[in-house]
Amino acid sequence: VNSMEIHCSDVIQRNIKGTSAVAFVSYSSLGNIINASFFEEMNEKDQVYLNSQVVSAAIEPKKNTPLSQPVILNFQHMEVKPGVKKTFCVYWKDTKEGGRWSKDGCALKQANKTHTICSSTHLSSFAVLMALHGQEEDPALTVITYVGLSLSLLCLLLAALTFLLCKAIQNTSTSLHLQLSLCLFLAHLLFLTAIDRTENKVLCAIIAGALHYLYLASFTWMLLEGLHLFLTARNLTVVNYSSINRLMKWLMFPVGYGVPAVIVAISAASRPHLYGTPDRCWLHLDQKFIWAFLGPVCAIICVNFVFFVMVFWILKRKLSSLNSEVSTIRNVKMLTLKATAQLFILGCTWFLGLLQVGPAARVMAYLFTIINSLQGVFIFLVYCLLSQQVQKWFGEIIKSKSESEAYTLSSRFGADSKPSEWDVLGQVKRKYY
C-alpha cells in the first residue's frame, strides 16, 4: 500500500479562511506508459526498471509557495529482484519533448526489499526506479562476435554471388536462397557496425527498426522456402511445375519484403519509444515488446515445421510406388533436409537469446554468438560447396583461369626468347604438373 505524509501547516497555509483539500492518487497501470525508459540519468551499464505504482499528490487551492517541510512518500515494491544496485526516488518533470523522470528535489530516506521511503520538496507525480547490476563486457565474447560475423558476412557474400552468377542452378529455389542471403548479409552487417550506436536516440531507434525488419524478412524468406518445397512435393504427383513457379513469382517479393514492413510499421506506430535501449539499438524488453519480433518468428518456425513434415509424408506415402532414386524426388528430399537444418540453425539462435538469464546466461551468450556466426557459413556450405552443379561451375572457372595463365605465360616466353614449341610445353608442364 502506498501512502503520503504531509505537514498540516502546508495544507492550512494554502487557504487560512476557507477549506483546503489534499489529493493522493495511485495509478495501477500508468507505469506501463511512462516507464523507466524515460529516466534522464539512465546509465548504459545498468538495467533500470520502474518498481512501484505511479502516485500523484496535490493540494487545493494551488499556490506557488514552496512546502515548509518535505512530503514523505511510502512506496510498496511491485516485485523483488536480486542484484539491485541503486534505488531512485523520482518525479515526473514536464519538458518540451513531453516529460522525463527526474531526481530533482527528491531524496531516498530508506529502502528494503519490499518498500521504499522517499521525501520531496514539492508535489507532483512520483515513482521508484531501481537499477540492476549491468553485465560486464566479455572480451572473448566480443572477439567471437566480430570474427564469427565477419566470416558469416564473407560466406553470405560468396553465396549471393554464386546464386547470381551460376546459371546451372538458376530457378525459383535459388532465387529464394538469394533473397535470404541478402537479408542476412545486411542484418549481420548492420548488427556488426551499428548495434551499439546509442549516442543519438533517434538514430538508434532507426537502427533498431532496420534490424527488426531485416531479421523478420530473413525468416519470411525461409517461410517462402518452406511453402515452395511443400508445393513442389505436392505437385510431383501431377507434374505441374509451371503453376508453382507462377505462384511463387507472384508471392515472393510482396510477401518476402511486404509482410515484415507491415509488422515493423505497426510496431513503430504503436510504441516508437521502445525501439532502442540504453546500451543496444534493439527492441526494448519492457512491456514484452520483444514479442513484436519473437511472435512472428515462432509462428514461422511452427508453420515451416508443419510444411517439412508434410513434405516427408508426401514423399513417403504418395510416391512409395515410384523409384526413390528418381532425380526429382531425390532433389526434393535433399532440399527439405537442408531447409530443416537451416530452420534449426536460424531459429535456434533466437531461442538461445531468450535463455540468456540466470546462472546459465554466459553459456547461452556464447552459444548464441557461435551459432549466429554459423548461419552464413551453413548457407554457403550446404547450398554452394556441396552442390554438384556449383562444384562443376567452380571447376570450370578454375580451369579457365589456369588456361588463361598458361596462354599468358606462353605468349611471354614467345616474345622474349622465341623458344621452340617443345620448350614452352615443357616449362608449362613443369609449372602446373
What grid cell was written down for 184? 542476412
- Going by C-alpha positions, the residue among 44, 45, 41, 205 that lies closest to residue 129 is 41
* 6: its cell numbers: 504531509
What is the rounded distance in angstroms from the CA atom of residue 273 to the CA atom of residue 268? 8
Give CA–CA dist 121/65, Å, rounded.
Answer: 11
Contact 341, 263 (CB under 8 A): no
255 in a domain, yes or no? yes
Shared domain check, 80 and 44: yes
Same-domain pairing of 127 and 143: no
Does residue 1 fall inside a structural domain?
A: no
- Indicate whether 302 and 268 sit together in one domain: yes
DSSP-based three-state secondary structure for 323: coil
Q: What is the pLDDT of residue 428?
A: 45
Do both 428 and 313 map to the same domain?
A: no
Q: Do 235 and 380 have their domain in common?
A: yes
Cα 35 to Cα 158: distance, rounded to the nearest angstrom:
45
**Spatial CA neighbour of 173 closest among 128, 225, 217, 98:** 225
Domain boundary at 106, 132, 158, which? 132
Task: State residue 429's pLDDT score.
Answer: 45
Same domain, 247 and 293: yes
| Tens of pLDDT, residues 304-360 | 888 888 888 877 766 555 555 455 666 666 767 777 777 777 777 777 766 665 556
Domain assignment of residue 367, given as a range? 139-386
Task: Report the alpha-carbon distance of residue 157 to residue 315 in Å, rounded.
Answer: 33
Task: Report yes or no on 197 lying in a domain.
Answer: yes
Tell me the CATH number at 109: 2.60.220.50
Specify whether 369 is located in the same domain as 418: no
Are 111 and 223 in the same domain? Answer: no
Same domain, 351 and 411: no
Annotate 65-131 with DSSP letters as a single string: PPPSS-EEEEEE-S---S-EEEEEEEEEE--TTS-EEE-TTEEEEEE-SSEEEEEESS-SEEEEEEE
Asked if 375 and 418 sit in the same domain, the reply is no
- What is the tally of structural domains in the chain? 3
Q: What is the DSSP letter of 134?
A: P
Amino acid letter, 6: I
Query: How far apart, in whole angstroms, are the C-alpha atoms of residue 185 and residue 417?
Result: 51
Q: Give the span between the Cα atoms of 390 and 37, in whole angstroms.
A: 51
Establish if 305 belongs to a structural domain: yes
Please identify every stretch of the chain with a pLDDT value under 50, giving residue numbers as ranges.
44-45, 239, 325, 421-422, 424-425, 428-433
Answer whether residue 3 is part of any domain.
no
Find the CATH number of the domain harbouring 380: 1.20.1070.10
Same domain for 289 and 311, yes or no, is yes
Do residues 207 and 287 share a domain?
Answer: yes
In tens, the pLDDT along 270-312 reads: 989 889 887 789 998 766 788 999 899 989 989 988 888 888 8
